[in-house]
Chains A and B, each alone.
Chain A
Amino acid sequence: MTPVRVSIVGVIASILLILVVLELIRGRRLKERYALLWLATGLVLLVLSAWRDGLNTIAGWLGVTSYPPAVLFAVATLFILLVLLHYSTVISKLTDENVELAQRLALLEERVGRLGASEPPAPVD
């Protein structure tokens, strides 16, 4: 069986996570798009911590007989991996976009330089 204290700590920690994420969204420091996975993490952990029979049953399915809270760790780890993987895809996309911006800037600068050189000098009063 899951010790009661573990469940209490789990519930508090999950609620804290959810509150922090919501506050970051509210303060516009986190985009909803990137917050969804974190919120899902918090909710799943909250449900598994509060629903003690559920955690024991799932642990039974997975063959974790001696210490059901280990399932909490496993689920948390899985979600962290998901979030990190998601970030890797985001970084890859940003990298590509960044290079393309640099390339366009180089092309435009060359063009502006050429146009500026061919323009008649501005009249001087």
Chain B
Amino acid sequence: MLGRMVAIVPAYNESGAIGRVVDEIRDFDPALDVVVVDDASADETAEIAAAHGATVLRLPFNVGIGGAVQTGFRYALEHEYETAVRLDGDGQHDPRELPKLLAPLERGDANLVIGSRFVDPGGSYRPPFARRVGIRVFARLVSVLGGQRVTDTTSGFMALDGVGIALFAEEFPHDYPEVEATLVALRSGLRLAQVQVEMRERETGSSSITFVRSVYYLVKVTLALLVASLRRYRRLEGARR
């Protein structure tokens, strides 16, 4: 059962891509409400998204990708959506892959479905060596700490049911959130499924990862994972026991 569905799209300075991203989501399913969370962009991201028919949530100052995404989950919770999907504002996540993400939710098999680039070893995504190692180390770490094998913790492409929305509306890391959020979900007892998806190269803008930031990223996320595995999380109703 999918019920009312919302697409959450965090965007920061994505005026070049956001119009098409919104159009593509609406083309995929006109009944899907598109919510763009504008993380205090300096460009016309918010205006363009609104002109293309999206609901726009404008943050008064930059809070980082995690805080932006969480704003979308809070919107979904407030407006009682039964299903939410989250796609990046730069066009990397192809809405035509959504049926794969939604299938486990529809069957009631999962509370959270992650679009992974590595479920299928023959997938086409071949990141540079360093990034591939980083992705695998985090996947392994989350698998060990969370007690379920996870293949991709950094994709950001995901679909959630109401239980997942409620969890992430309350508890979502603010910077570099994806890896930690996966572990929080597992430790809160969410049923997690992964499906193979293809992602596109970004069309405009540039990736936010530089060398200094990757070191900070590595250290911050590792610390966050260790802390998250020491914390107690409330087991959620509707999740597995």
Contact partner of B60 (CB less than 8 A), chosen from A95, A96, A105, A110, is A105
Contact of A109 with B70 at beta-carbon distance under 8 Å, contacts A99-B63, A99-B174, A103-B63 already known: no
Check: A107 CB closer than 8 A to any chain B CB. yes
- A107 CA / B174 CA spacing, docked (Å): 17
User: Are B61 and A106 neighbours in the complex by a CB distance under 8 Å?
Assistant: no
Check: B56 CB closer than 8 A to any chain A CB. yes
User: Are B78 and A107 neighbours in the complex by a CB distance under 8 Å?
Assistant: yes
List which B221-237 residues lie within 8 A (CB) of chain A. Answer: none
Contact of A110 with B63 at beta-carbon distance under 8 Å, contacts A99-B174, A103-B70, A103-B71 already known: no
Interface range on chain A (Cβ under 8 Å from partner): 10 to 19
- A110 CA / B61 CA spacing, docked (Å): 15
Contacts of A110 in B (CB 8 A): 55-58, 75
* Binary CB contact string for chain B from 51 to 72 against chain A (1 if under 8 A, 0 otherwise): 0000111111101000100110
Prevailing SS type, chain A contact patch: helix
Contacts of A102 in B (CB 8 A): 59-61, 63, 67, 71
Check: B136 CB closer than 8 A to any chain A CB. no
Contacts of B48 in A (CB 8 A): none
Total A-B pairs in contact (CB under 8 Å)? Answer: 37
Contact partner of B71 (CB less than 8 A), chosen from A95, A96, A106, is A106
Contacts of B74 in A (CB 8 A): 103, 107
Q: Return B159 CB to nearest CB of chain A, in Å.
A: 22
* Binary CB contact string for chain A from 10 to 28 against chain B (1 if under 8 A, 0 otherwise): 0000000000000000000
Provide 20 A-B residue pairs closer than 8 Å at the C-beta atoms, listed in order of the A residue: A99-B67, A102-B60, A102-B61, A102-B67, A103-B59, A103-B63, A103-B71, A106-B37, A106-B57, A106-B58, A106-B59, A106-B60, A106-B71, A107-B74, A107-B78, A109-B57, A109-B58, A110-B56, A110-B57, A110-B58
Q: Which residues of B contact A (CB under 8 A)?
A: 37, 55-61, 63, 67, 70-71, 74-75, 78, 174
- Apart from A105-B59, A110-B57: 10 A-B pairs, beta carbons within 8 A: A102-B63, A102-B67, A103-B63, A103-B70, A106-B37, A106-B57, A106-B58, A106-B60, A107-B75, A107-B78
